[in-house]
Amino acid sequence: MAQLEQFAAPGSEWWRTAVIYQIYPRSFADASGDGIGDLPGVTSRLDDLKDLGVDAIWLSPFMTSPQKDAGYDVTDYRDVDPLFGTLADFDELLAQAHARGIRVIVDLVPNHSSDQHVWFQQALKAAPGSPERARYIFRDGKGENGELPPNNWESVFGGGMWERVIEADGTPGQWYLHIFDATQPDFDWTNEEVREEFRSILRFWLDRGVDGFRVDVAHGMIKADGLPDYMPPTDADSMGGGEDDVPYWGQDGVHEIYRDWHEVLAEYDGDRALAGEAWLPTLEKTALWVRPDEMHQTFNFPYLMTHWDAADLRAVIRDSLDAFGGVGAPSTWVLSNHDVVRHASRLALTADNPQGEGIGPKSAGKPDPAVGLSRGRAASTVMLALPGSAYIYQGEELGLPEAMEIPDEFRQDPTWFRTNGERYGRDGCRVPLPWTADAPAFGFNDTGLSWLPQPDEWAASARDVEASDPDSTLNLYRRLIALRHERELGYGSLVWEDAGANAVAFRRGDLHVVANLGTEPIELGEGVEFLVRSEPFAGTALPPDTAAWFIRA
């Protein structure tokens, strides 16, 4: 089969090959003991991340926020929410991470603010047509008295995408647009004042020393002129991505913004990077985000969304390397994050329970935990062998499954509320991490409080338990990451090998990588010397749902 080139060049910028660990601060480690993780908690655990071997961390939002969408609703882009600590705590975290050679990227939320942001509060008080309203997307309603929303768009979290305001004189007035919750009004990115404000916010964090930004909803910031009606197909992915020509996703106007930001980052030394959250229909379109003068990375969601199917997995890897390589960018690889069902559960989902909308007590066809874990470990074993940059979501290195039995009264995801419980949403992948089996809240803090309940069976996945088990998922990840660095697998090219229709098989130099996605063992042949097996097994027949790295004597 053809050889695909995926060089880390030009230059040796860190983000081209980095293993980046996503920290969801409210669920990582809780130093204050209030049940919600915080920045001092992160700092206290940096040695564990150093030990895991990651090159960088991405911190989900910790800026000032009423937490209506877990911090993706910001009121002050230049400060830390007291829930998570202070700016001094952030500076300390950054210094401690850098002292360990770990880069830090922070989450930037530019598509929308919180409705409590001073600009939005000013907009509510100001008159229609005012400069204050022009920072957001306010429109008159349709119907005789403006009682109908300006168009038919539906929020990602369910319900309509418009909210009507009460004007200063007490009468119902204009409507404002919110792709997400009504507490998250969208900025108008055609307004130069908004653009200037975000340049300044970028500089605020760059001046503090951050290594880059993960850009939230990077595909949603520009809406089509005239805001034309649009109704997604019923099976569309809610974050976008399924369809072409959606008037609020992937509009060409976003590229100009990223070129502008690219220049801001280029003013700073040290290879600062932009990583875009862009859910788009094709890899070709996704690659446009990372042309040489735009973002540096974009998340590879087509890879994340690929089912446990060998032909599909081979195709998405090949297409990713082609598409990103075609614009001189590294491909990224990601299997889990705080918005999707954890891959140690998702990869065992069946057709009667499609991925992506959460799993809860009443869901049909819950994934088998053992099958999910085997596939999850095998999938990670493939991912960490691929050239480019790989993202790990906190807890996947422990093999954590989705928490599927969270009682309704604990749920916090706005999706759950806006769909009246029809969609469970994302709480199941956001449960606080288990650090120590025999401690309160499994060592998440020392008070035993936890904003979402931790499943009892997570005691067996606590970091201290896994650290001392040579066959644990934690030790699998440690080994994969260490070898990835040693063999410089982030760089270079990939050569496909043929191990049958149910295999994903390729070579990285003299390292062979094979995953078995079928139901029968795959014989690997003579002279095999294993470097990594995703599960322990004897002999040279690779069992189903297993992957291995080996050389041939």
Q: How far is the CB of 334 from ligand NOJ (least distance, A)?
A: 12
| Per-residue binding letters, 14-53, with ligand NOJ (x by CB under 6 A) | ----------------------------------------
Instruction: Give yes or no for residue 89 binding ligand NOJ (CB under 6 A).
Output: no
Residue 339 touches ligand NOJ, criterion: CB under 6 A: yes
Residue 379 lies near ligand NOJ (rule: CB under 6 A): no
Q: Does 396 bind ligand NOJ (CB under 6 A)?
A: no
Q: Among residues 162 and 435, whose Cβ is nearest to ligand NOJ?
A: 162
Give residues 504-523 in contact with ligand NOJ (rule: CB under 6 A).
none
Does residue number 237 form part of the binding site for ligand NOJ (CB under 6 A)?
no
Q: What pairing do the DSSP bridges indicate for beta strands 273-276 and 297-298? A: parallel
Q: Within a 10 A sphere around the Cβ of 334, how many other Cβ atoms?
A: 20
Q: Of the candidates 30, 38, 55, 69, which one interacts with ligand NOJ according to CB under 6 A?
A: 69
Query: In this complex, which beta carbon is closest to ligand NOJ, that of residue 109 or of residue 246?
Result: 109
Three-state secondary structure string covering 271-312: CCEEEECCCCCCHHHHHHHHCCCCCCEECCHHHHCCCCCHHH
Cβ atoms of 162 and 153 closer than 8 Å: yes
Q: Is 192 a catalytic residue?
A: no
Nearer to ligand NOJ, 72 or 324 (CB): 72
Answer yes or no whether residue 340 interacts with ligand NOJ by CB under 6 A. Answer: no
Closest CA to 271 of 7, 18, 5: 18
Does the protein bind ligand NOJ through residue 427 (CB under 6 A)?
A: no
Q: End-to-end CA distance of the chain, in Å?
A: 23
Regarding 180 and contact with ligand NOJ (CB under 6 A), the answer is: yes
Count residues binding ligand NOJ (CB under 6 A): 9
343: CB partners within 8 A, 6+ apart: 304, 335, 336, 375, 376, 379, 380, 396
List beta partners, residue 139: 175
CA–CA separation, 227 and 266 (whole Å): 34
Structure token digits, residue 435: 């650090």
- Check residue 391 for interaction with ligand NOJ (CB under 6 A): no
CB-count burial class (<10 Å; 0-12, 13-18, 19+) for 471:
exposed
Spatial distance between the Cα atoms of 110 and 133, rounded to a whole number of angstroms: 17
CB of 340 to ligand NOJ, least distance (A): 9
Phi-psi sector, 159: left (phi>0), alpha (psi -120 to 50), beta: left
Among 30, 69, 216, 294, the active-site one is: 216
In DSSP terms, which residues pair with 226 in a beta bridge?
none
- Residue at shortest CB range from ligand NOJ: 72
**Does residue 357 touch ligand NOJ according to CB under 6 A?**
no
349: contact with ligand NOJ by CB under 6 A: no
CB of 294 or CB of 339, closer to ligand NOJ: 339
Q: Give whichever of 211 and 339 is closer to ligand NOJ, judged by the CB atom.
A: 339
Task: Please list every residue from 275 through 294 that binds ligand NOJ, using CB under 6 A.
Answer: 277
Provide, rounded to whole angstroms, the least separation between the CB of residue 353 and ligand NOJ.
21
Q: Given the complex with ligand NOJ, which of 277 and 396 has the nearer CB atom?
A: 277
- Kindly tell me which of 181 and 294 has the beta carbon lying closer to ligand NOJ: 181
Q: Is 277 one of the annotated active-site residues of the chain?
A: yes
Tokens of 184: 């998250």
Between CA 488 and CA 477 the distance in angstroms is 16
Instruction: Quote the least distance from Cβ 216 to ligand NOJ, whole Å.
Output: 5
Quick one: 69 or 319, whose CB is closer to ligand NOJ? Answer: 69
Verify binding: residue 216, ligand NOJ, rule CB under 6 A.
Answer: yes
Q: How far is the CB of 164 from ligand NOJ (least distance, A)?
A: 21
Among 109, 265, 386, 452, binds ligand NOJ (CB under 6 A): 109
CA triple 319-277-212, angle to 5 deg: 110
Residue with tokens 């700092």: 43
Nearer CB in complex with ligand NOJ: 240/387:
240
Instruction: Decide if residue 217 touches ligand NOJ (CB under 6 A).
Output: yes
**Catalytic: which of 277, 396, 427, 466?**
277
Rounded to whole angstroms, the Cα distance separating 531 from 523 reads 17
Q: Are 254 and 219 in contact (CB under 8 A)?
A: yes
Cα separation, 40 vs 32, in Å, equals: 8
Beta strands in 345-477 (DSSP E): 389-393
258 interacts with ligand NOJ by CB under 6 A: no
Q: Which residues are catalytic?
A: 216, 277
Binding-site ranges for ligand NOJ (CB under 6 A): 69, 72, 109, 180, 216-217, 277, 338-339
